[in-house]
Amino acid sequence: MRPPALDPAVVYGDWLACDTFDVMARVHEIACPTLVIVGANDNMTPPKYAAFMADRIKGSRLVTIADAGHSPMREKPAEVAEAMQAFINASPQTS
């Protein structure tokens, strides 16, 4: 079954929003435990951007999913779930 066609104006608006959104200069302000997951073959948001974020977010963890592109959660769900579970397990518990 094919998904319904999307309105081209909506798709364009999504692409425009993604293309103009830029908070790279503020990423260092993130102060909570952060897991950065990227597909090794992501051409839309290349791994170098994930590494940029992980390098600037104190205490973050970067996980690169092999043989995955822009949607590792759909392409490699078990690997993403494993990375998320490991991150949660390693996080300090708060009450």
* Chain segment 2-33, per-residue pLDDT in tens: 777 788 899 899 889 988 988 989 999 999 99
Range of the domain at 94: 28-64+72-95
Residue 54 lies in a domain: yes
What residue type is assigned to position 69 of the chain? G
State the Cα–Cα distance between residues 11 and 67, nearest whole angstrom. Answer: 26
Residue 9 lies in a domain: no
Residue 1 lies in a domain: no
Q: How many domains does the chain have?
A: 1
User: CA of 70: how far to CAs of 29, 40, 66, 85, in Å?
Assistant: 25, 9, 12, 20
Residue 4 lies in a domain: no
Residue 15 lies in a domain: no
Q: Which residue has the tokens 């997951």?
A: 37
How does pLDDT run across 32-90, given as a tens digit for each residue?
A: 999 999 999 999 889 999 999 999 999 999 999 999 999 999 999 999 999 999 999 99
State the Cα–Cα distance between residues 57 and 29, nearest whole angstrom. Answer: 7
Residue 85 lies in a domain: yes
pTM: 0.80
Residue 49 lies in a domain: yes
Residue 36 lies in a domain: yes
